[in-house]
Structures are given as C-alpha cells and as structure tokens.
Amino acid sequence: MENKKIGIIGTGNMGGAIAVGLVKSGFISASDIFVFDPKEKNLNEMREMGVTACKNNKEVVQNAGVFIVAVKPYHIEGVVNEIKPALTSDKIFISIVAGVGIEELTKMAGENISIFRVMPNTAIALQESLTCISTNGNKTEDKDFVIELFDKLGKTVEIPEELMAAATVLSSCGIAYALRYIRAAMQGGIEIGFGADMAQFITAQTVKGATELILQTGHHPEREIDKVTTPRGVTITGLNEMEHKGFSSSLIQGVLASYKKIDNSGK
Ligand SMILES: NC(=O)C1=CN([C@@H]2O[C@H](COP(=O)(O)OP(=O)(O)OC[C@H]3O[C@@H](n4cnc5c(N)ncnc54)[C@H](O)[C@@H]3O)[C@@H](O)[C@H]2O)C=CC1
Ligand SMILES: O=C(O)[C@@H]1CCC=N1
C-alpha cells in the first residue's frame, strides 16, 4: 500500500478518541488524518488538533489509503453507499462498528477491497486500548499495517471473527464495567471517610496496581488475592460479603446480557 494517510468517518466518542490517540502517538502527522462528521462541533475539535476536516465522507476516502468507519451500526450502510465511488482496490477499510460482520460489510462495499473488523475501547485516546483485530484472510502487507497502526494505540490481539461479539463485550464494554466498579468502590470510600476526589484517586491507583500485578506476573487473580486475605481478617470478610450479595455472579450475568444483546440485535 502506497498511501498511508488515515481517514476517520464519524468522530464521536470512538472516532474522536482514535484521532486523539493517533495524534498523541506521532505515528502520523495530524494533517495526514482526514475526518468527516456531520456535527460541526466534532469537526472543530478535530481542526483544533491540526487534523484535516473534509467536506464529506467521499473526500475522506479519496485522501486516505486507510480509513476507519466509526459510525453507529444504523448509519453504516448509508456511509458505505456514499463512499462507494471512491472505493478503489488499493484502499483498506477498517470497521469498528459493533455487530456488523465482514460478510455484511463486503456485500455493502464490494469484493475487491481489503476489509478489517477491529474492536478497540475508549482508552485508545491514551494509547491504552485493548484492540481485537479480525483479519479474515487479508493480504499480509495490509494486515501488518493495520496491526502496526493499532499497536501504536495500545495492545492488540488477533482473533477469529466469530469471537468479535465476545471481544466487543469483554474489551469495549469492559471499560465501562471496570469504571462502574471504581465508582462503587469510591462511594463506599466516601461513606467510610474520604472526600470524593481522594476516594477517586485512591481507588483508581489501586485498580491500576491490581491490573499491573496481573499483567506483569501473569498470575491468576486469586493468587494475588490470597496474599491479601489474612485469615479471619478484614479483606476476606468484605470479599465474602460481596460474594453473598452476588458480586461475581452479577458481573458474569452482565457480561452474558451484553453478549446476548449483540446476538439479539444482530448489531
Ligand atoms: N463507544 C465505544 O466505546 C465503542 C463503540 N464502538 C462502535 O463504534 C461506533 C461509534 O460509536 P460511538 O463513537 O460511541 O458513537 P457516537 O454516536 O459517539 O459517534 C458516531 C459519530 O458518527 C457521526 N455520524 C453520523 N452519521 C454520519 C455519517 N453519515 N457520516 C459520518 N459520520 C456520521 C455522528 O455525528 C457521531 O459523531 C459504533 O458502531 C459502536 O458500535 C466500538 C467499540 C467501542
Ligand atoms: O454499547 C455499545 O453498543 C457500544 C459497542 C461497544 C461499546 N459501546
């Protein structure tokens, strides 16, 4: 692929976060990122970062060799119809749209274009995404570029497309589940004496520490928990009370409910 300029179609929560992460990463100069969004406010935020705002989606695809579609599932078909005249065989089409498969995307865009499904999360703005990539038999050169691109924006894992719905739940929704844990722990922290800001800082840094313990050692969480739970101590008392109230079960059921929602809606 010759043209390594990057397009983003839809600069809402995710498209905007990708643009921010890309500019921060220095992987590409801001002016080589081409975006369109019908919301002028979103485009202005992009312009302020030095990103090139286009007049429409077709112009994005004409300028960029690789483009990321980050619109809601119900807008994808309209977007693909709009960009179709600019879809030459040298383009790489990356979709982060939840629940829309490569087969469906191929029907919309045509056979002769390289299509990837990618599932990032909002931490991509900080280059801390966990991004799942499904390559479905694309050319090695294209695949290498897409992986390199998202490696600059966090960590990547390559998965078969059949796991994309599960990836959406565990990684993309997962950020929200983790944040809800942080909020709940903060609320407990406030009730036992901390101000909100201090409770937030203590909880967030503690979660970061827990995450690093797992990521850096590869240990099972329970192995690290065993080091904290003094017999007859305060930790096990709290943990057991959480389990009596359904903590793990509630999380697992939430994950399954999100997964079912993707299956049910086909989105
Ligand atoms: N929000 C998240 O954490 C994640 C979202 N996704 C997927 O990313 C996609 C976007 O989600 P969000 O960013 O949350 O939604 P959003 O609503 O924040 O952003 C979508 C953007 O698309 C723009 N848009 C609407 N019609 C358009 C058109 N014809 N051309 C160009 N832009 C258009 C909207 O103005 C909006 O700014 C969805 O398909 C979602 O499934 C995937 C992973 C994580
Ligand atoms: O909630 C949603 O439907 C989207 C997909 C993954 C994260 N947000």
Structure confidence by residue, pLDDT tens digits, 2-35: 788 999 999 999 999 999 999 999 999 999 999 9
Going by C-beta distance under 8 Å and a sequence separation of 6 or more, which residues neighbour residue 34? Answer: 5, 6, 7, 8, 51, 52, 54, 59, 60, 63, 64, 67
* Residue 33: strand pairing partners: 6
How many Å lie between the centroid of ligand 1 and the Cα of residue 254? Answer: 23
pLDDT tens figures, 96-145: 999 999 999 999 999 889 999 999 999 999 999 999 999 877 788 999 99
Cβ of 170 closer than 6 Å to ligand 2, yes or no, is no
CATH of 6-159, one of 3.20.20.70, 3.40.50.1240, 3.40.190.10, 3.40.50.720: 3.40.50.720
Protein residue with its CA nearest to atom 32 in ligand 1: 10
pLDDT tens figures, 39-50: 999 999 999 999
Given the cut 0.90, state whether the ipTM is greater than it. Answer: yes
Which-ligand-closest: CA of 35? 1
Pocket test of ligand 2: the residue of 18, 173, 258 to mutate, having most ligand atoms within 8 Å of its CB, is: 173
Q: Where are the domains of the chain?
A: 6-159, 167-265
At the fourth CATH level, the homologous superfamily of domain 167-265 is ProC C-terminal domain-like (1.10.3730.10)
Mean pLDDT, range 231-244, rounded to an integer = 98
Q: What is the C-alpha separation between 206 and 143, in angstroms, rounded?
A: 37
Question: Contacts for 262-265 with beta carbons within 8 Å, 24 or more apart?
Answer: 262/98, 262/99, 262/165, 262/168, 262/169, 263/165, 265/99
pLDDT tens figures, 143-176: 999 999 999 999 999 999 999 999 999 999 999 9
Going by C-beta distance under 8 Å and a sequence separation of 6 or more, which residues neighbour residue 254? Answer: 177
Q: Quote the pLDDT of residue 264.
A: 61
Has 14 been labeled as part of a binding site?
A: yes
